[in-house]
């Protein structure tokens, strides 16, 4: 089956020419200093910051995973996408602390606030998290897209899935290793435009093929359009039960997001990701000043409102087209005998919709958008990983190395992360779903990091011993859950004895387990801190709310205008409107 026409290939080739041309131009302008390579010389404007944040965020988990969840669970996961308000927290609350501290990385900020040990621990946690989630998921999703759009391609025994994965790594890794953050940020700005245009066109053509928005609502039903009502058969009470029972297993895979977990756990993961993760925050660290950084987060918040309509809705459109038989090929490919989407096929819904409803030419634009999202997401995590390893680990072990050596080590670190990520693809292939996998792993690793940053900034009495204890205990709890889950994920037919301790741990909804980690980490940090000596003045001055001087408060106030406030309010109103609309 040939999905792409000649005109599509021409458009895709043009996309690669433009992206690599931008990267080449940036590389030619770049110096060999670590400041320029890792943080783009701290000279990025607000639109580049905002577009780069959005492009890094919108990657494989959205193209493949989020659209798939839309086909199976409706708008349930829109909670995560409506976390645009977290970006406002980053811009208005945390950016002043980050910019003032003049750091390269988030772990470096923890070193200034707490201790060098806390910096090392967070660096290691972050690198492990990137391997478990962003790197491997990005590579895997690239393979999924290529597998659907180019199913007939093979080379030396490799099918289109592996060829696509390898090509994504080589092309993205090339300009990331050579150009650093500046190349990543400028190419991501272009990729954001292509991505949004392509996804909007897919939604428009999909609705046209279905018969319009009203037809989608009729077919999907009120439950799929309700943020707070998971798809649960009559007689079950999964929204309250923290542990699944054997009678719930049949429908569990389509109902993994109890509303209590979404209400309390999702904001913790959201604030960790948007406000403390190097992958995102590195963009504002590269901003020219606080004003540009804040405006970049506001712009990114506007962009972040789009995924509900350009990824979840297309997933629901695909479900509607397949379930009604309006497009026979989609029905044959996706639907099971029970009339539901086959869970293992859900990850293919977005590229299948592209291949089915779009005309030649338009399809090329959308495929370029898919590639843009996949490449920008990988580029962001490659750059963040190399920055963490080089600036937080390598430079500490070898403090007297030259700037050129730091840049070279950053490039080597990128290559190593790619290889490790490849090894994790089999784990993700066996997971319940790409977006489920990503959210569950982040749910296990995020809480202790959220605790040390937010508790540490809001309470100047908390000290390094409390922070280190919270990180170690929380990280251990997260890895323990991952170790329990992995055999069930990898080994077909494997299950723990029902009622056993391991069975209970494995079957607690991941959001509830995440909340347990949060509560334990927070308690540990508070108890240990108050049981030991208070932090020194240098550890709280400028780095906590209570340690900010009047002069610094005045500088922050001078960094924004009335228009910045108005734009922020508009974002909040749009978020509220989305919640109201999707609450039946």
Percent of the chain with pLDDT over 90: 17
- Which of 76, 98, 163 is closest to 511 using CA atoms? 76
Q: Is the per-residue pLDDT at 295 higher than 80?
A: yes
- Which of 479, 483, 484, 478 is closest to 505 using CA atoms? 484
Q: Which residue has the tokens 């890094």?
A: 56
Q: DSSP label at 267?
A: H
Which pLDDT belongs to residue 222? 76
Q: Which two tokens stand for residue 557?
A: 């106030």
Res. 43 pLDDT band, cuts 50 70 90: confident
Res. 451 pLDDT band, cuts 50 70 90: very high
Distance, C-alpha 416 to centroid of its chain: 21
Res. 82 pLDDT band, cuts 50 70 90: confident
Which pLDDT belongs to residue 523? 97
Per DSSP, the residues of 31-47 read -S-HHHHHHGGG-B-HH
Asked whether 451 and 272 are in contact (CB, 8 A), the reply is no
Q: Which two tokens stand for residue 310?
A: 């350009």
The number of CA neighbours under 13 Å toward the Cβ of 556 is 18
Which residues are CB-contacts of 331 (< 8 A; sequence separation ≥ 6)?
322, 323, 325
What is d(CA 465, CA 528) in angstroms, rounded to the nearest whole number?
7
Average pLDDT, the chain: 78
Q: 339: left (phi > 0), else alpha (psi -120 to 50), else beta?
A: left
Q: Which two tokens stand for residue 314?
A: 């297309």
Q: Which residue has the tokens 């029905």?
A: 331
Q: DSSP label at 158?
A: E
Comparison of pLDDT for 544 and 67, the residue scoring more:
544
Lowest mean pLDDT among 127-131, 155-159, 280-284, 534-538: 155-159
Asked whether 481 and 513 are in contact (CB, 8 A), the reply is yes
Q: What is the pTM of this model?
A: 0.79
Give the CATH number of domain 6-581; options: 3.30.360.10, 1.20.1730.10, 3.40.50.2300, 2.40.33.10.
1.20.1730.10
Lowest mean pLDDT among 117-126, 178-187, 561-570: 178-187
Res. 235 pLDDT band, cuts 50 70 90: very low
What is d(CA 498, CA 509) in angstroms, rounded to the nearest whole number?
15
Q: Is the per-residue pLDDT at 435 higher than 60?
A: no
What is d(CA 186, CA 171) in angstroms, rounded to the nearest whole number?
16
Which pLDDT belongs to residue 8? 83
Which pLDDT belongs to residue 252? 35
Q: What are the φ/ψ torsions at residue 510 (nearest 5 degrees)?
A: -60, -30
Q: Where are the domains of the chain?
A: 6-581
Which pLDDT belongs to residue 233? 41
């Amino acid at each position: 089956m040939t999905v792409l026409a000649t005109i599509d290939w021409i458009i895709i080739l043009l996309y690669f020419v433009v992206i690599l041309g931008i990267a080449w131009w940036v590389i030619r302008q770049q110096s060999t200093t670590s400041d320029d390579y890792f943080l783009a010389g701290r000279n990025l404007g607000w639109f580049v910051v905002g577009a780069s944040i959005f492009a890094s965020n919108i990657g494989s988990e959205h193209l493949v995973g989020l659209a798939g969840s839309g086909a199976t669970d409706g708008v349930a996961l829109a909670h995560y996408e409506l976390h645009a308000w977290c970006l406002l927290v980053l811009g208005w609350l945390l950016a002043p602390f980050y910019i003032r501290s003049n750091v390269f990385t988030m772990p470096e900020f923890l070193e200034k606030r707490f201790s060098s040990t806390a910096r090392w621990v967070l660096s290691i946690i972050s690198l492990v998290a990137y391997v478990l989630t962003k790197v491997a998921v990005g590579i895997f999703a690239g393979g999924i897209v290529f597998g659907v759009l180019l199913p007939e391609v093979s080379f030396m025994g490799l099918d289109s899935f592996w060829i696509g994965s390898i090509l994504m790594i080589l092309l993205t890794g090339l300009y990331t290793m050579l150009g650093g953050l500046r190349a990543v940020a400028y190419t991501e700005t272009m990729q954001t435009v292509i991505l949004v245009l392509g996804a909007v066109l897919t939604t428009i053509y999909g609705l046209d093929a279905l018969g319009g928005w009203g037809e989608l609502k009729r077919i999907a039903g009120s439950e799929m359009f309700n943020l707070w009502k998971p798809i649960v058969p009559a007689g079950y009470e999964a929204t309250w039960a923290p542990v699944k029972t054997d009678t719930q297993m049949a429908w569990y895979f389509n109902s993994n997001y109890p509303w209590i977990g979404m209400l309390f756990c999702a904001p913790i993961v959201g604030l960790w990701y948007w406000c403390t993760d190097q992958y995102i925050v590195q963009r504002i660290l590269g901003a020219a000043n606080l004003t540009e950084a804040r405006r970049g987060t506001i712009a990114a918040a506007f962009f972040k409102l789009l995924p509900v309509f350009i990824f979840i809705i297309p997933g629901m459109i695909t479900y509607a087209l397949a379930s009604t038989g309006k497009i026979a090929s989609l029905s044959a490919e996706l639907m099971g005998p029970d009339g539901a989407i086959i869970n293992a096929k859900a990850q293919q819904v977005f590229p299948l919709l592209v291949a089915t409803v779009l005309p030649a030419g338009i399809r090329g634009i959308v495929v370029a958008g898919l590639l843009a999202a996949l490449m920008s997401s990988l580029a962001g995590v490659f750059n963040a990983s190399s920055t963490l390893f080089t600036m937080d680990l390598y430079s500490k072990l070898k403090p007297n190395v030259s700037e050129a050596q730091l840049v070279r080590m950053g490039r080597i670190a990128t290559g190593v992360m790619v290889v490790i990520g490849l090894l994790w693809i089999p784990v993700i292939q066996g997971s319940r779903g790409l977006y489920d996998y990503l959210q569950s792993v982040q749910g296990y690793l995020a809480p202790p990091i959220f605790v040390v940053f937010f508790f540490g900034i809001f309470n100047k009495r908390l000290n390094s011993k409390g922070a280190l204890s919270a990180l170690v205990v929380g990280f251990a709890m997260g890895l323990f859950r991952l170790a329990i889950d992995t055999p069930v994920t990898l080994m077909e037919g494997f299950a723990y004895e029902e009622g056993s301790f391991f069975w209970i741990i494995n079957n607690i909804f991941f959001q509830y387990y995440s909340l347990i980690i949060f509560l334990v980490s927070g308690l540990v940090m508070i108890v240990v801190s108050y049981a030991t000596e208070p932090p020194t003045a240098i550890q709280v001055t400028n780095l906590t709310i209570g340690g900010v001087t009047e002069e610094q408060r005045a500088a922050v106030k001078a960094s924004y205008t009335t228009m910045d406030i108005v734009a922020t309010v508009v974002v909040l109103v749009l978020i509220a409107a989305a919640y109201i609309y999707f609450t039946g």
